[in-house]
Homo-oligomer: A and B are copies of this chain.
Amino acid sequence: MIDYETLFKISYGLYIVCSGDKNKGNGFISNTIFQVTAEPARFAACCNKNNHTAQFIQKTGSFSVSVLHKDTSPDIFGRFGYKSGKDFNKMEGMDIRYGETGVPIVLNEAIAFFECKLVQTFDVGTHLLFIGELIQAQLLDNTREPITYQYYRQVKKGVAPKNAPTYVDQSKLQQKADGSVFKKYKCTACGYIYDEEKEGKKFTELPSDWVCPVCGTAKEDFIEI
């Protein structure tokens, strides 16, 4: 028996993982970053094969990780989490530093960053596991706490995008549902679910200028599920 709610008991942070160079770069929101060895310090970053940034990492052989803080604005999640760099330049207008390898590092809302040189790539199915050796690490703000995935889900009401390794199909969670009359509406951009039962208010009663709390998409772009 697999209870998919259980998967939310695994703890993660939230990061912007970037790659590319001064001419062209891209980044995405990731929760799956962890250290794999201490000597030398190496990190694993998990990335969907369809993710635009995956191509940059393979091409340039380096990536950066920016650690986001607890009060990171929905704009950052909207820009890096739910939109594809195939369609627009995510780096435009951002506060960027270029690392020792030339990789872009997003400084907006970051409390720390790492720069890694790719040393191994493993194919784990739909995703690639990039192993990077740490070549630079800097603390930018020691007064703010890093955001956790749990906080993002519970307080910020965020959900993982479809490309995330931790994406959970809502129908799997609803296997436990009791068939209540409350409805659920889904943001067509980021997948955020407005659950009438949890919110205590009908979706149709929300003001017309109400927007998705995760990515800022208009109310009219929600669909009933």
Contact = CB atoms under 8 A, between A and B. Distances in A.
Given A9-B111, A10-B67, A3 B37 contact: no
A29 interface: no
A12 interface: yes
Given A6-B114, A38-B165, A11 B148 contact: yes
Interface string A1-41: 11111110111110000000000000000011111111111
A94 interface: no
Nearest to A148: B11
Interface of A: 1-7, 9-13, 31-42, 44, 46, 67, 111-114, 120, 122, 124-127, 129, 131, 134-139, 142, 146, 148-150, 164-169
Contact of A46 (B6, B11, B36, B146): B36
Contact of A41 (B7, B46, B134, B149): B7
Contact of A129 (B36, B113, B137, B148): B36
Given A34-B32, A37-B165, A165-B37, A9 B67 contact: yes
B125 A37 contact: yes
Contact of A38 (B9, B44, B126): B126
Contacts of A41: 2, 4, 7
